[in-house]
Structure 1
């Protein structure tokens, strides 16, 4: 039986464990965190990501977590409505073969599907990696050593596997901060089910109210020194950047102050690599190609990448290095397209001026026209 060690128990790692486990591999997932995470922001699975979920047998389970379509209201700084974006706009962009859900629900679905097929070792890190033509040797922090035919680094944008095996020069830091705050309660100033979005020069604040345990907020802003912002922590940094806003934002910031550990708070980075594998070691998901939240396809690419990796390994049998090169050749064009889309999308989430905000509002108004809505559908697939 072939053996694989997978570093990271997020979407990419669990999807890889599920796919390889179904193909007859013995897999071990190593996760630094002491337990599975359960929070997160909204993600969309469509295109190759939805196709992969279908092949992995996940669509029925994912459908139970689908938040569905909802209206978004663009608001002014004080929370007053400026423009209503009907749910038909999202429907046109996503299409029929799509599901929208919270990242934590996607991870929970993957965990439920994979945990009987793999061994997951929480609170464990990799201390050393060694490989030759016959296999990979992975030394772990608990003192054990794993012998494997394949090592998959799916440990995120700050991947230690990438640094150890490929060097430290592949993460491109961008001048933005992003924060996502899960909310256990509905937000009073945001009607249910709907979202409000404020877009101003250099920043965006969105609050989604879908009811108890199904609400969240998303923040992003441009800054000159992301590292200094991260040192301040989410309460101080997000409070300073968005404390002047009205509507549902004050409620979100109050909730954040009560439980800052539940928030996702990080600088925005892309990972640009000339090659995703070396020998029997391969990177997958954000560890290999982080497209950023601005692209909106990170989860879908992780699922598609895991599924296509399994297919390539099946095609090539015992020739793991050739399978990895074949897999990358098939997936890289889509990743490159999504990374370019994300760089363009930064102007949407953090417009450089009020004029750009006005242009964005104008574009959104235009999308309410049926003909332009059809163009949007083709452009976002």
Structure 2
């Protein structure tokens, strides 16, 4: 069997490794960008993707690339802490199965674990998709074509495969009323001031967060309310205009904002579509299941969804049956997370000083012993159902995490 995967992001790389290692398929991964993406932001990695990463044998690499974070601190314009949320309750609610890692580092770990037999082609993408009864022909942007038994669109929230197969993206995107951005720069002094904290401005309508990376680098994450989904042509100027009135370290960060091509900038959106597959074409990751950064689990769900799809392809007699089984099992998980994200939107970036005060009270109450676990669960969302209930997971995959219990095995073969 030959599969073409469009998109060398988290979902595409996870599926590529799984289909080659588990099923022995011939795998070709196409990525329209000329190189791996280095722009991105810090994520909390937990839930089904964590379980899948352990089952795939990549968890030790993710632990090496992760960062220790002590707390999220909300700071006023002078840098004084107004509220804080320790990561301890969050981690305990996840039974210790939580990592904080940069998205590009997560992609790096998955990419470096790929077999050399997997064809990874940068600077190439799909230009046309022709469905056939027994497969699909993909015409590439350079004029070449590939015949495959299966085409997978893992090319993100603005998926080209989705547009070519299911129609224009406007009918599938639900704009949630925010724009987001991320960039990095060098600043040893700011790096030392941030320490191991994830620091955020305690502001309404817009919020900028900063955290220290390795080698004196500082990462910036920004999100603001925006009713228009259209993106600015000059993202650097847009960021300086939107956040220029904020205090603390924000002016210093904006002064070091790199040129627009080096800034990640996008709308905050969810994908909502009636079906994830058509013939021998299927979507995974943000191409069909974008939950938005408000849900905080996009990367985990990308790996989890890829794992479930590979598991169904290993079980089913026909590819079409596997695609339907994958959607039947995985769609309820995504629908739940999207609903959680929409409910959380009001508190992610408070819309008024009153909402800010309510958030302060909630964070102070969370420090009470009886409320700590509830806060962790509310932030993470209840993980239902566990991955092992919808896919084949090795018995040795843990339900909690203690140092020294992670197995560093090659990817196991499922029955």
Q: TM-score, length-normalised on structure 1? A: 0.94
- Could you report, residue by residue, the CA deviation over 1:164-213 in whole angstroms, capped at 9, with x for unpaired residues? 10112111223211011223444258331212211322121111124436
Distance (Å, rounded) in 2 between the aligned partners of 1:95 and 1:259? 41
Q: Aligned pair 1:98/2:98, yes or no? A: yes
**SS of 2:136 mapped into structure 1:** strand
| Residue 251 (structure 1) aligned with residue 277 (structure 2) | no
For residues 340-380 of structure 1, the C-alpha deviation after alignment (integer angstroms, 9 at most, x for no partner) is 11112211122121111111111111111121111123332
In structure 1, C-alpha distance between the alignment counterparts of 2:95 and 2:181, rounded to whole Å: 27
- Which of 172, 175, 195 pairs up with 2:174? 172
TM-aligned CA distance change 1:72 to 1:181, over 3 Å: same
Q: Greater CA deviation, 353-362 or 79-88?
A: 79-88
Q: Is the 8 A contact 1:153 1:282 kept in 2?
A: yes
Partner residue in 1 for 2:373:
374
CA distance in 1, matches of 2:10, 2:213: 23
Aligned residue for 1:114, secondary structure, equals: coil
Moved more, 38-47 or 299-308: 38-47
| Residue in 2 that maps onto 1:48 | 48
Q: Pick which of 65-74 and 337-346 moved more.
A: 65-74
2-structure distance, mates of 1:100, 1:94: 13
Equivalent positions of 1:45-194 (< 5 A) are 45-168=45-168, 169-186=171-188, 187=190, 190-194=193-197
Conservation of the 8 A alpha-carbon contact between 2:26 and 2:118: yes
Number of equivalences: 376
- Counterpart contact for 1:46–1:97, Cα < 8 Å: yes
Partners of 2:90 and 2:375 within 8 A in 1: no
Matched ranges for 1:194-209 at <5 A? 194-209=197-212
**Distance in 1 of aligned mates of 2:175 and 2:80:** 34
Distance in 1, Cα, partners of 2:79 & 2:255: 16
Gaps of 5+ in 1: none
Residues 119-150 of structure 1, C-alpha deviations (whole Å, 9 max, x = no match): 01111121211122211111112222111111
Q: Which residue of 1 aligns with 2:240?
A: 239
Report the CA distance between 1:242 and its aligned residue: 1.3
- Hey, what's the Cα distance between the residues in 2 that align with 1:188 and 1:109? 25
**Over aligned residue pairs, what C-alpha RMSD do you find?**
1.7
Q: 1:189 to 1:97 in 2, by over 3 A?
A: closer
Alignment gaps of 5+ in structure 2: 383-415
Alignment match of 2:222 (pick from 200, 219, 223): 219
The 8 Å contact of residues 189 and 248 in structure 1, kept in 2 or not, is answered as no
Preserved contact between residue 45 and residue 99 of structure 2 (Cα < 8 Å): yes
Counterpart secondary structure, 1:100: strand
Mapped contact 1:190–1:247 kept (Cα < 8 A)? no
Q: Is the 8 A contact 1:12 1:302 kept in 2?
A: yes
